[in-house]
Amino acid sequence: MIKRRLHCFEGNLPKSLVNCTFLEVLDVGSNRINDTFPSWLGSIPMLQVLILRHNNFYGKITTPFRGSVCNDFHRLRIIDLSYNYLTGNLPSGYFQSWDAMAISTENLSNSSNSLFFMYYVENYQIWPYDEIYNYVVTITNKGSEIFYPKILTVLRVIDFSSNKFTGRIPKDIGNVRGLQTLNLSNNNLVGPIPSSLANITGLESLDLSENILSGSIPRELTVLNFLEVFNVSHNRLVGPIPEGEQFNTFDNSSFVGNLALCGAPLSQKCKKDSIPSSPPHNATNDEEDTELIDWIIRSLGCVSGFIIGYVIGKIYVDDRHHDWFVETFGRITRPKKE
């Protein structure tokens, strides 16, 4: 079943949608909906695709818990909240409960039926169509808007881009292991890139650009062998760019705008790469250095000998045995009288 996209639909989403217990796809993108995030949609047991992009959704996403576990949206595979005004932290609780996004074992050739029974909204009431509707969806994937004539059951997408999310990217993001596309770009996210992203082994597109992320790029991400698009541009990342595997295929545009990043493909060398090599060995220079050292040692020996002789002469000759010294050596040196 499907809730179609309603152009120029304004106001809040009708909560009577929760009565559509067989609703699988809800697409209200590109409307004028002015509302908080409809967390109550999570109670629709069959909901798999949620498209809320290009609206005026605002405020924080709160995660409803029943007991100690959140059981909402457990069948959700695609969620697109891009181009809204959502704030606060990313919904860590949902990353733990989106069970369908944690699975990546379906046959890649399998797809769900693109024909659905459709509902429409009129005067905030839900009405069914008598005909079957051929549904298609457009999703931003790998940096481009892609038209899907069928919704693949293996397709799993999280797009929270172009909002006002703050705080850190939670480590729980690594729980959604079945993702192909993760887009958190153009927000106000801070802190490091979590290494737990390496758990999403089938990830094909990762966009974290236009945030305030700091720290280094985790080397663990080099295990993402299916990664085709990687964008961390315009953040505050530092240190060397990881090398190997897919990272050798990304160009400058993936990393620009991080003044402290270094290494290929950027022109800025890392410090360890910019240390000058040692000059070639020169035997002539070695001999000259050896002669200089010998001359210094000999000079020090002469100076120290002079000082020792002066001290001994002063103490034992001049002070203590002055009379004896004069009597003995004066007699030898005194000229004889004629």
Check whether residue 243 and residue 309 sit in a common domain: no
Residue at 338 is within a domain: no
- pLDDT of res. 215: 96
Q: Is the pLDDT of residue 186 over 90?
A: yes
Check whether residue 321 and residue 258 sit in a common domain: no
Q: What is the mean pLDDT of residues 126-135?
A: 50
Check whether residue 179 and residue 316 sit in a common domain: no
Specify whether the CB–CB gap between 164 and 190 falls below 8 A.
Answer: no
Q: How many domains would you assign to the chain?
A: 2
Residue at 164 is within a domain: yes
Check whether residue 188 and residue 247 sit in a common domain: yes
CATH (domain of 46): 3.80.10.10
Residue at 12 is within a domain: yes
**Of residues 6 and 246, more confidently modeled:** 246
Check whether residue 30 and residue 103 sit in a common domain: yes
- pLDDT of res. 9: 61
Q: What is the mean pLDDT of residues 94-102?
A: 88
Query: Residues with Cβ < 8 Å from 271, sequence gap 6 or more?
Result: 262
Going by pLDDT thresholds of 50, 70 and 90, the confidence category of residue 109 is very low
Average pLDDT across the chain, whole number? 76
Check whether residue 268 and residue 321 sit in a common domain: no
Tens of pLDDT, residues 306-325: 555 555 555 555 555 556 55
Tens of pLDDT, residues 45-79: 888 889 999 999 999 998 766 544 556 888 899 99
Check whether residue 191 and residue 327 sit in a common domain: no
Residue at 280 is within a domain: no
Check whether residue 54 and residue 170 sit in a common domain: yes
Name the pTM for this structure. 0.73
Distances (CA, A) of 38 to 31, 57, 322, 338: 15, 9, 111, 135
- pLDDT of res. 296: 59
Tens of pLDDT, residues 202-217: 999 999 999 999 999 9
Retrieve residue 82's tokens. 């891009």
CA distance 132 to 115: 6
Residue at 101 is within a domain: yes
- pLDDT of res. 36: 94
Check whether residue 156 and residue 255 sit in a common domain: yes
- pLDDT of res. 16: 79
Residue at 327 is within a domain: yes
Check whether residue 50 and residue 86 sit in a common domain: yes
Residue at 230 is within a domain: yes
The whole domain housing 20 covers 2-274
Residue at 181 is within a domain: yes
Check whether residue 252 and residue 291 sit in a common domain: no
Check whether residue 145 and residue 261 sit in a common domain: yes
